[in-house]
Amino acid sequence: MRLGIHRREFGCDWLQNTPPHCDMAEHHGGADGVVLAPKVREAILSLPRDEVLRRHYLRERWTTSRQEARKPSPGVPRVFGQPPVPAVTQAQPHANERGHRKALPEPITAESPPARRKEGNQRARPGRAQRSDPRAQARATVLIDLALQGGGSHGAFTWGVLDRLLEEEWLQVEAVSGSSAGAMNAAVLADGWTEGGPAGARAALDAYWERVAQAAMFSPLQRTPLDRLLGRWTLDYSPVFVAFDLASRLFSPYDLNPRGFNPLTTILAQSIDFNRLARSPIKLFITATNVHTGRGRIFRNAEVTPEVLLASACLPTMFQAVEIDGEPYWDGGFAGNPTITPLVRESAAQDTILVQINPRVRPGTPRSAPEILNRLNEVSFNAPLMKELRMIALMRHVADPGSGEGARWASMRTHRIMTDMMTQLGYSSKLNGERAFLMMLRAEGRRVADQFLATRGDDVGRRSTADFDELLAEC
């Protein structure tokens, strides 16, 4: 049965009934000088079934025959210049099938075409032991700070960026600053990191945004069938959104929502263990805007509560002000979106990665009412960030780099991750919590972060990749 299988594989059924050729003799120095040689057909029929081993074996036999053909023995036909079939091949064909591929090394001779190709490859490129791939080598750990902007459902873009950055073992998050949706991402990341490291942070972010998507299924703010058909993510033509937008100009949240209901309250309670968050190794800086003074207040780990996060994401036209220690607070984006100063003064990291959601530049002049409101929202929420970045650029020039706080400002390295996709989305889409929309933003965040790591990843820990000095010319 086994010989039949080998014959079918080699296409040599004729060998079964073909007697040895009369010239198949080998010189052994007997009385007549010639005795019958071993049957070559038996050697062929006992070849290993493994395709790679067969190639090695036949190549070795072919190479040996070529070498012997150059130096034939007198009085002996050339075919008998070949050495006898290796014993391991005749007696133990199954041993080769069990994976003993090292028993038959690939011949390296000048006559063998495969050998010439192999030698040519070796001359064209150095061996793996001599090559040095910088990405293959373990990179030294780099401490980084994260500055996360807010923007409602657009915060799913930040989710994707964080998910990709957390895959890099050489990046270690030291501190995170966030406002509004950035504050949610920051708190969920820090809590998940405390429980399970980077993998725990990624899982926590996934669970949080999944809960947001589930809650949005029952929201009255939904796209119209035409918007779904055309693939538009806007809510500008949603009857409920239009009615809500008009009502917010005439009535306050205290009139429309007297009980102060906020769907994020339940989501935060399910997503974050605030006692564990207080002892997180990642420093948190959550910004909320004091309604009385108009100044921003920064809350740190031990001070972060569900009320603090709700205050940081409190849009005054949608929700009642959140009271903390007897003071009312609104969205932190009005005072710092996000606040970067504490990252410089209180963190040991020298690299800060800004994940920016609101586009700073939007081509074209807004003419319709939704376009004007959308651009007004972007300018107002970007203004604190631009002012702080301008101040940082100035401090880097005038600060004493010798020691103390001046050295922190002078040695600060800044990086920015953003996408042009945000210029295609309007203000109303920040209230769209559909799972498909969130996953689309997450995928875009991962793509942009992966591009940043591929093109600018080597600069992290060495030099800045975002030049904020141009902001000084705008003063």
| 416 DSSP β-pair partners | 354
Amino acid identity of residue 210, one-letter, is: E
Report the residue count for the chain.
475
Q: Is it the case that residue 114 has pLDDT exceeding 80? A: no
* Of residues 468 and 304, more confidently modeled: 304
Report the pLDDT averaged over residues 104-130.
40
Report the pLDDT averaged over residues 435-458.
96
User: CB atoms < 10 A from the CB of 121, how many?
Assistant: 9
Q: Is residue 391 classed exposed, middle or buried when 0-12, 13-18 and 19+ CB atoms within 10 A define those classes?
A: middle
Q: Is it the case that residue 349 has pLDDT exceeding 90? A: yes
* % pLDDT > 90, the chain: 52
Tell me which residue has tokens 């009085």: 75
pLDDT of residue 25: 40
**Distance from C-alpha of 109 to C-alpha of 116, rounded to nearest angstrom:** 8
pTM: 0.70
- Tell me the pLDDT band of 328, cut-offs 50, 70 and 90: very high
- Tell me the pLDDT band of 46, cut-offs 50, 70 and 90: low
* Of residues 83 and 432, more confidently modeled: 432
Report the pLDDT averaged over residues 56-77.
59
Q: Is it the case that residue 119 has pLDDT exceeding 70? A: no
* pLDDT tens figures, 152-191: 999 999 999 999 999 999 999 999 999 999 999 999 999 9
Terminal alpha carbon distance of the chain: 90
SS (H, E, C) the chain: CHHHHHHHHHCCHHHCCCCCCCCCEECCCCCCCCEECCCHHHHHHCCCCCHHHHHHHHHHHHHHHHHHHHCCCCCCCHHHHCCCCCHHHHHCHHHHHCCCHHHCCCCCCCCCHHHHHHHHHHHHCCCCCCCCCCCCCCCCCEEEEEEECCCHHHHHHHHHHHHHHCCCCCEEEEEEEECCHHHHHHHHHHHHHHHHHHHHHHHHHHHHHHHHHHHHCCCCCCCCHHHHHHCCCCCCCCHHHHHHHHHHHHCCHHHHCCCCCCCHHHHHHHHCCHHHHHCCCCEEEEEEEECCCCCEEEECHHHCCHHHHHHHCCCCCCCCCEEECCEEEECHHHCCCCCCHHHHHHCCCCEEEEECCCCCCCCCCCCCHHHHHHHHHHHHHHHHHHHHHHHHHHHHHHCCCCCHHHHHHHCCEEEEECCHHHHHCCHHHHHCCCHHHHHHHHHHHHHHHHHHHHHHHHHCCCCCCCCCHHHHHHC
Tokens at residue 99, please?
A: 């994976």
∠ CA 356-219-332, rounded to 5°? 35
Report the pLDDT averaged over residues 347-369.
90
Q: Is it the case that residue 319 has pLDDT exceeding 90? A: yes
